Structure 1
Amino acid sequence: MYITLTDLAWFIIFSFAVAISILLIIALAHLIGVIKKINTILDKNGDNIDKTLKTLPKVMDNVNEATEIIKDGLYKTEDTIDALSTTVFNTASSVQNKTETLLNYIIIVAEFAKGIYEFFVNKREERK
């Protein structure tokens, strides 16, 4: 009695089908075990989950309010920094202008004093 290639192919296909079926049954058994554990956890913590789900909208409202407050604070800080930088720039510009004006007055007074000094020195030399 000989085994034909067709019979061998059918035997291999049938063997693979049986092996895959066994693996699927084992996977289903594990999946059922995991689902039972999840159901047990949900049953034990059902009250806590309900409380959490009830307070979640309030928490999200608080988060939204905090975000708005922080955003408004950042805008106000930005405006304050802009105003402060403008004020500092204007003050520095004013100080520079006042310093230049003061230096001009000092130069004028020094030139006037120099002119008076030269006038008296020239008078003294003429007397001699």
Structure 2
Amino acid sequence: MMFTLVLTRSYTGNLMSLLAVRYIPQPFQTLKAVLDSHATNMVWEAGSMYDQFLSSVEAGVFVGVRAAEENGRLKYVKSTEYTPILDEQVRHGTHVFIFEDLTGRVLKANDFSRTGMGKMPVN
């Protein structure tokens, strides 16, 4: 009887937690996942070291990034264009902004200051 009580309470608790928590889709975790999603375009920082690196890469996942650039799935933007790109394309889910960690922190802080909400997509 005690075993049945513990088992039913455990099942009820797990079921309740699964039903009560809202499912939030995770953003892309790897560059390979972005490349595999053919409906998603990439936005990279113009003039960064990655721009130069992509022109000389010969192996690895960055070869796929170079191929995506040749197919028109990669766009380079200057720092003055970050906010419009985030608002018009990244928020709608058609583009993924790939940036360095420091740039991302600054963009998140600016977005929070501008909108008052911490809802910048972190793809």
| Band the TM-score falls in, shorter-chain normalisation | under 0.3
Task: Identify, as 1 or 2, the structure richer in helix.
Answer: 1
TM-score (norm 2): 0.23
Where relative contact order (Cα < 8 A, 6+ residues apart) is larger, the structure is 2
TM-score (norm 1): 0.23
